[in-house]
Chains A and B, each alone.
Chain A
């Protein structure tokens, strides 16, 4: 299984890459010891969105399905967590609420994905249908301000948003601050490693084959629809994980986290980072979220404009993504350097052999 971590579908490989990975992980683990709790909380907030970006990377970059529906599933799981946590009474039940809300998002993805994929919807139409579903959910939730819109004691509250749910709790211990940060780090490592294994496995081979040439993949005996549905459900489930974690982090959720501006964000993160690689998406999304948050402090409009400019620059200058492009340059430079270092050594060995004879 560990062999699959270094397969052909992921850019970073070998001892140097994994040493860097461990160094970054170690830095992330000791960060709360040196930073104040506000910054740690902010970092935990950035990390919440990474799952949604990784899910889109899997669907779009590896599976060839551009989904505008990440915030649809984010919203389903986010509101799902709120409804379940309020109805189940908080406490340790919030863990069950988190898991169930992600499962609900995955079931929703299974239903929507089934009708789209078995209905033969692909390409740009896949994006249009998922965007439509997202907008319908956002508008629906926006008109739920009246008291009649409730599930048990949980009121949906329209554009004011749902609130009053407990954060993730184990016993009497609320998972907030540093604890939430460490939970995020653990979940990101698990999800990242699991996705690397998935895309480098035989299933991953079929996922990329389906992206490249679905007819040929089918002519090799694969029911490509099942692989597409699997990819869509996993990718959307990860968006659901972001949504449930977001609601538990802030203890509120509003329809604005689902609507059009929010739905465009994952596309920008993944396009800018490099949709064809999980590591590029992980790093690039984090950097963009960090930059976006920093600029938002001064002007939210400016941050949104910057996102638009970045998307435009990506399309015009680096269609494969900036972070992935830089990563490939580094890998090429490193390979050339190694070949250059090895060439004199081989020549020396050759000279030695001829001297001996």
Chain B
């Protein structure tokens, strides 16, 4: 069953068409990766899904409800959660308070504190919980933002380049974390450049190129698609 259904969505910024007539379906319970070269429109599509940009044309459905005109907070309340491309945390507030703000609508009292501790431990941030979020390293800020997104217990988790600035070990751990949440039923839509990471987590892949859907299918099919290799991986062929 489709959890997210993007139908004929385009987004124009003046004379530039960042996303052009895109149809995308993300099924409930899958890890879906969105890949493509720089400027393909991946992050714009993410922002359209989450409501940060209104589409120029087209409609977006979440769990069969048309959410095209809804503001981002309303979409989050329906069960979406996003980690942005650049770390987006509350830099002047302590790490623990960042997590509290994400949790407080769902939990309170002892339950909230227990979940706080669990998330801080899961994200390797327990020792830094009193630090200001802005004092964390880039990778740690990424973790913190993932933790804030997870704190909402969303139906759909959108991750825009979640492993940027992370070491290979941290990247692998992030992949395992995503798989564990997916195993519990969470649907995940990921934008990522790191193909090793995509191989680790992806069940279905959509390739965007110049704002349009270029290819879609299983990871294996995409990896074997020579046109994808040409536009995305920069592979050249001797003719």
Contact = CB atoms under 8 A, between A and B. Distances in A.
B30 to A, nearest CB: 22
Given A208-B93, A209-B93, A220 B102 contact: yes
Interface in B68-100: 71-74, 76-77, 81-82, 84, 88-94, 97, 100
B104 A216 contact: no
A209 B72 contact: no
B105 interface: yes
Given A219-B50, A219-B76, A205 B82 contact: no
Given A205-B97, A205-B100, A209-B101, A221 B90 contact: no
A212 B91 contact: yes
Contacts, number: 62
B97 A220 contact: no
A206 B105 CA distance: 10
A220 B106 CA distance: 11
B91 A202 contact: no
Given A202-B104, A205-B100, A218 B72 contact: yes
B148 interface: yes
Contacts of B84: 216, 219
B108 to A, nearest CB: 8
Interface in A203-262: 205-206, 208-209, 212-213, 215-224
Q: How large is the interface on B (under 10, 10 to 19, 20 to 34, 35 or more residues)?
A: 20 to 34
Nearest to A276: B92
**A-side binding surface: helix, strand, loop or mixed?**
helix
B73 A223 contact: yes
A350 interface: no
Given A202-B104, A205-B104, A218 B90 contact: no
Contacts of A219: 50, 72-73, 76, 81-82, 84, 88
A205 B90 CA distance: 11
Q: Which 10 A-B pairs have the closest CB atoms?
A: A221-B76, A212-B90, A202-B104, A216-B88, A218-B73, A223-B73, A205-B101, A221-B77, A209-B101, A218-B72
**Residue with the greatest number of chain A CB neighbours at <10 A, chosen from B81, B82, B102:** B102
Contact of B152 (A212, A216, A220): A220
A89 interface: no
A19 to B, nearest CB: 25
Given A8-B97, A205-B101, A206-B101, A222 B88 contact: no
B148 A212 contact: no
Contacts of A220: 76, 101-102, 105, 148, 152
Given A216-B89, A219-B72, A219-B76, 4 more contacts: A205-B101, A217-B90, A218-B76, A224-B73
A221 B105 contact: yes
